[in-house]
Amino acid sequence: MDDAYTPPQDPLVVLHDDAEMLVVDKPSGLLSVPGKGADLADCLIARVQAVWPQALLVHRLDRDTSGVMVFGLTPHAQRFLSKQFELRAAKKTYVARVWGRLTPKTGRVDLPLIVDWENRPRQHVNHETGKAAITDWRVLRDSARESRVRLMPKTGRSHQLRVHMLALGHPILGDPFYATGEALAFERLMLHSEELRIKHPDSGKMMRFRQSAPF
């Protein structure tokens, strides 16, 4: 994390709100939870708790990733929702713009990941000590310069989508950790959590929350 943390001051965008759960659209550039130090205190959960003091963390998105994020509003809801992420029952869909023409049009990345200790918080592929990480992709449209892709992670490792796209030779545009050269010259990380499907903690009904990518 650099010293120039200047989170956006966008108002909260609420996608769903009931007695058990809250779903919001996290802006790019805002931490999900506070970092170390007063300068990193501004974050999504703090803003949410200013309105819903009972809100509890279920999962996180990277600072530079935007999109759908769910919070539990009761301890039961937090446990119920968190369990779905742990069991890989929550279905997550992302949209990204990546460097170059990604071929074939669909595929799967199955590469184990672990933190790169000398370059934290970066992650890297490691077949000896890495944890299983799987990402499916589908190209939505492409050109010689870039591809717009839909990414469906089957696991939830830190920086998974970013490292998997890099491993394919197609880093996500604007990625401050993994992109270089022209691929880095964008105003933000071009990665957005577009859709989350998860069972409601009260009814057990499968819910679908969606927010289109702002890029």
pLDDT in tens, 113-139: 999 999 999 999 999 999 999 999 999
Same domain, yes or no, for 59 and 22? Answer: yes
pLDDT (0 to 100) of residue 4: 85
Find the CATH number of the domain harbouring 24.
3.30.2350.10
pLDDT 10s digits, 154-176: 999 999 999 999 999 999 999 99
pLDDT 10s digits, 54-76: 999 999 999 999 999 999 999 99
Same domain, yes or no, for 175 and 134? Answer: yes
1 has pLDDT over 70: no
Same domain, yes or no, for 52 and 29? Answer: yes
Same domain, yes or no, for 100 and 181? Answer: yes
Spot the catalytic one: 2, 10, 62, 64: 62
pLDDT 10s digits, 73-92: 999 999 999 999 999 999 99
14 has pLDDT over 50: yes
- How many domains would you assign to the chain? 2
Name the average pLDDT for the chain. Answer: 97
pLDDT (0 to 100) of residue 3: 59
Same domain, yes or no, for 147 and 168? Answer: yes
Percent of the chain with pLDDT over 90: 98
pTM of the model: 0.96
pLDDT (0 to 100) of residue 129: 97
Same domain, yes or no, for 152 and 116? Answer: yes
C-alpha span between 204 and 121 (Å, rounded): 36
Active site residue 62: yes
DSSP H/E element including 193: strand 191-199
Same domain, yes or no, for 117 and 186? Answer: yes
Classify residue 40: in a domain, yes or no.
yes
Do 176 and 1 form a contact (C-beta atoms < 8 A)?
no
Same domain, yes or no, for 114 and 156? Answer: yes
